[in-house]
Amino acid sequence: MRYSENHIGNKNVSDEELLKTFSPASESKGPKDTGEFEEEELERLKQTGIDLTHPNRTGTFVQTNHTVQRCDCESSGIELLPVTAALKKYDGLKEYWWRLISAEKDSFTREADQELDNGYFIRALPGEKVIYPLQTCLYIRDENLAQRVHNIVIAEEGSELNIITGCSTHPHLRSGLHIGISEFYVKKGAKLTFTMIHNWGENVYVRPRTGIRVEEEGVFLSNYISLKGVKSVQTLPTATLTGPNAVARFNSVIVAPEGSDIDIGAEVILEAPGTRSEVVSRTISTGGRVVARGHLIGLAPDIKAHLECQGLILAEHGVIHAIPELEAHVAGVDMSHEAAVGRIAQEEIEYLMARGLDEEEATSTIVRGFLDVRINGLPPELNEELQEVVEECHKGM
């Protein structure tokens, strides 16, 4: 079984059947602008790092169902457009559109190709460095919709760009399907940090398809966080490091409650000498199933790549399936992996108990540490903010 299966009710269904279950977002009616969002909706968006009143954001993009409601950016060095507008402006974005992923890859890519709702186009001009992040929000507000987006992000030579993407559904919504195609281009010496926080409904299917290309000396950092129940997520971004010394780092923190089936990972192709990659996942099952994949492919000498899957099962029936793969095609590579799945080590719990904490306090201290999402390379303020989002979600666990 390559991917998690789709289940509707108790039935296994094919991808095509799954697509038929939901109606196109284009047939829905959303509010005209984000000012009409209710308090609980704004609160929910905040849990994915999206704050519509936040002063420390360079730009904001909000797409609800199929409608782009906000698309504004303060920096003249950044171009932020609905992707449909960018396609018009740049004559079909030929160099970037379906270049890193094939539109024929599977039913979901075909669907997004044929029935596109919208998506964002972000481009940082050469040498442009923005401190505060851009926030992009993909929001499903009505029951039983299929939202299909295609995003293009380009960090031109020497630029630095920081994006927070919050994906979520209306607090009272249960079912939906999100298909998100994303293509990231990190050019020579550029640095792109992409932080994605998911907060879906418990019966929502999520099918991101992501390709990344990093050129010489470029850096791509991805941080993926999903702490709440979701029916099924299946994604395996592929990063290709095409230029010498390019770097890609993937960090994910996943909690799978009962009923959630989350199949995530990253594939990194290290094509050029001196490229480096790190794929780290920390997953917790509180009853759900997680498949944590990582596939590193070394095609050039002097590359360095490391894979790490740490899994904790905190319920009787959780499943964590770590699949680390290393594939080297030449001599002179330095590739390693580390995987550990199980319960919290008794030794760690007792260590804290020896200082006076009871077993429950000790366990929750360790779990909170496990869910620490601060990563190297993120601005400290953003790290703190993310950590707060996580702690907030963790309280409800």
- Min dist CB 357 to another protein, Å, is 6
Supply 8's token pair: 């509707």
The residue within the footprint of another protein, chosen from 115, 357, 379, 394 (CB under 8 A), is: 357
Q: Does residue 353 interact with another protein by CB under 8 A?
A: yes
**Could you please report the per-residue DSSP string of 188-239?**
TT-EEEEEEEEE--TEEEEEEEEEEEE-TT-EEEEEEEE-S--SEEE---EE
How many other C-beta atoms lie within 10 A of the C-beta of residue 287?
A: 17
Our CB check for another protein shows the closer of 14 and 336 to be 336
By CB under 8 A, name the one of 326, 352, 394, 397 that touches another protein: 352
Q: How far apart (Å, rounded) are the C-alpha atoms in residues 43 and 358?
A: 33
Q: How far is the CB of 167 from another protein (least distance, A)?
A: 24
Question: If binding is defined by CB under 8 A, does position 358 make contact with another protein?
Answer: yes
Q: Contact 188/160 with Cβ under 8 angstroms?
A: no
Interface with another protein, residue 345, by CB under 8 A: yes
Maximum Cα interatomic distance, the chain, rounded to a whole number of Å: 66
Q: Min. distance of Cβ 307 from another protein in angstroms?
A: 16
d(CA 103, CA 205): 20
Residues 332-355 as b/e (b if ≥16 CB within 10 A, e otherwise) read: ebebebebebeeeeeeebeebeee
Helix (H) or strand (E) run with residue 362 in it = helix 359-370
Continuous H helices in 52-102: 83-89
Position 346 contacts another protein (CB under 8 A): yes
143 binding another protein? (CB under 8 A): no
Pick from 10, 355, 376, 395 the residue near another protein by CB under 8 A.
355
Q: Which is nearer to another protein, 21 or 365 (CB)?
A: 365
Residue 178 tokens, joined = 């999100």
Is 340 one of the binding residues for another protein (CB under 8 A)?
Answer: no
State the binding string over 364-383 for another protein (x if CB under 8 A, else -): -xx-xxxxx-----------
Q: In this structure, are residues 285 and 256 in contact, taking their beta carbons and an 8 Å threshold?
A: yes
Nearer to another protein, 71 or 227 (CB): 227
| C-alpha count within 13 angstroms, C-beta hemisphere, residue 109 | 16
b/e map 192-211, b = 16+ CB within 10 Å: bbbbbbbbbbbbbbbbbbbb
Task: State in angstroms the smallest separation of the CB of 75 from another protein.
Answer: 31
Taking the least distance from each CB to another protein, the nearer of 84 and 365 is 365
User: How many residues does the structure list for the chain?
Assistant: 397
Which CB, 95 or 350, lies closer to another protein?
350
CA distance 353 to 365: 11
Near another protein by CB under 8 A: residue from 2, 104, 354, 396? 354
- Which residues in the 258-317 window bind another protein by CB under 8 A? 310
In the complex, what is the shortest distance from the CB of residue 348 to another protein, in angstroms, rounded to a whole number?
5
Contacting range for another protein; rule: CB under 8 A; set: 111-119, 209-217, 222-230, 346-354: 346-354
Q: How far is the CB of 266 from another protein (least distance, A)?
A: 20
Residue 319 sits in the site that holds another protein (CB under 8 A)? no
x/- map, 80-119, another protein, by CB under 8 A: ----------------------------------------
Q: Which is nearer to another protein, 91 or 347 (CB)?
A: 347
Cβ proximity to another protein, 342 vs 369, nearer residue: 369
Do 253 and 282 form a contact (C-beta atoms < 8 A)?
yes
Minimum distance from residue 361 beta carbon to another protein (Å): 7
Nearest to 370 by CA among 287, 280, 257, 290: 280
Residue of 361, 381, 384, 388 that binds another protein (CB under 8 A):
361
CA terminus-to-terminus distance, the chain: 30
Tokens of 259: 């009923």
Closer to another protein by CB, 85 or 351: give it: 351
Shortest CB 370 distance to another protein, Å:
6
By the criterion CB under 8 A, which residues form the site for another protein?
310, 345-348, 350-359, 361-362, 365-366, 368-372
